[in-house]
Amino acid sequence: MEYRDYYEILGVDRDATQDAIKQAYRRLARKYHPDVSKETEAEKKFKDLGEAYEVLKDPEKRAAYDKFGSNWQTGQDFEPPPNWDAGFEFKGAGYTGGTDHDYSDFFESLFGRTGYTGGATRRSTFQMKGEDQHAKIVIRLAEAYHGSQQNITLTRATVEENGRVTTRPHNLQVTIPKGIIEGQRIRLEGQGMPGMGGAPAGDLYLEIAFAEDPMFHAEKRDIHLELPITPWEAALGATITVPTLGGRVQLKIPAGSQGGKKLRLKGRGLSTATKKGDQIVTLRIVVPEAKTQEQKKWYRKMAEIMPVNPRNTPGF
């Protein structure tokens, strides 16, 4: 079993007042709340905070915990000395509050777990639907375009025969349907936390996020691509091969196109059977550098035979 330094988790000194502990918890809980935070591992940090606070907010538990001394470090192999909890009354009484968090082995072996440790009579009558679980899954745009199968690993609490709860990695393979878009969620019924006393399990919600793509980006159902073209392709028109998530297609650039012009490839975005997304191609004109005398001559000649004032608008 690994020791956990609850003071370190809350970022307070060992002699912090109860008020200071409460304030530290509230500040960090806001910072790492999984619905609010973009920090990586926010969910884990939030759980750790809850566990640390569960112990330190209760003077009795805190005093028992303090008896281990200050020489332990998080992650160090730890066994509580025999009768470490003699003289304290929390044993078996469970939590002072809180819902069905999954606490660490360290916590549970010291302070037990309500809802599970209450004995057979309680277990047989106590029913509670499992918590819903929320997770984010990052997929590539091509996987959203075509649909895909994703392997995901979640930490899952399971209730064993003896009522003890253990957490272990839980692997799932999930079908991501074609045409899913960023921010949408997939609900997997009964794949959340297990229920208690025969009650059904909670649901699992997977929120879709897209990995950064070097070429495309998605805006809702539309896929955007910037297409570099030459001035003569823009001026004279051209048919250009452009990549889409579904393969290459021919795109006709009309004569007289300007930089920034947007062309739409219908149905080439993130589409489902009933909803269509398009690919929007934005033209970017690449101006060739005039390096040699001859090249400069051609630019000068262009200036002569097709004079233009691109700043012919009020304000310039």
Residue numbers at the binding site for other proteins (CB under 8 A):
26, 29-30, 33-36, 38, 46, 50, 99, 129, 132, 134, 149, 151, 170-175, 177, 180-189, 191, 203-206, 212, 217, 219, 224, 272, 274-275
In the complex, least distance from residue 95 CB atom to other proteins, rounded to whole angstroms:
14
Sequence-ordered list of residues with C-beta below 8 angstroms from that of 177, at least 6 positions apart, any chain? 147, 272
Residue 302 CB, nearest distance to other proteins (Å)? 32
Cβ-based nearer residue to other proteins, 186 or 240:
186
Report in angstroms how near the CB of residue 171 gets to other proteins at its nearest.
4
Residue 29 or residue 139: which is nearer to other proteins going by CB?
Answer: 29
Shortest spacing between CB 220 and other proteins, in angstroms: 9
Q: Report the nearest approach of other proteins to the CB of residue 249 (Å).
A: 23
CA–CA separation, 101 and 47 (whole Å): 7
- The long-range contacts involving 156-164, CB below 8 angstroms and separated by at least 24 positions, are 156/193, 157/102, 157/193, 157/194, 158/194, 159/116, 159/194, 159/196, 163/116, 163/117, 163/123, 164/108, 164/113, 164/116
Can you tell me the distance from the alpha carbon of 106 to that of 112, in angstroms, rounded to the nearest whole number? 10
Q: Which is nearer to other proteins, 203 or 233 (CB)?
A: 203
Q: First vs last Cα of the chain: how many Å apart?
A: 73
The smaller minimum CB distance to other proteins, of residues 173 and 241, is found at 173
In the complex, minimum distance from the CB of residue 58 to other proteins, in angstroms, rounded to a whole number: 18
- Kindly state the smallest distance separating residue 185's Cβ from other proteins, in Å: 5
Residue closer to other proteins by CB (options 164, 170) is 170
Choice between 67 and 224, CB closer to other proteins = 224
Amino acid in the structure at residue 164:
R
Nearer to other proteins, 6 or 210 (CB): 210
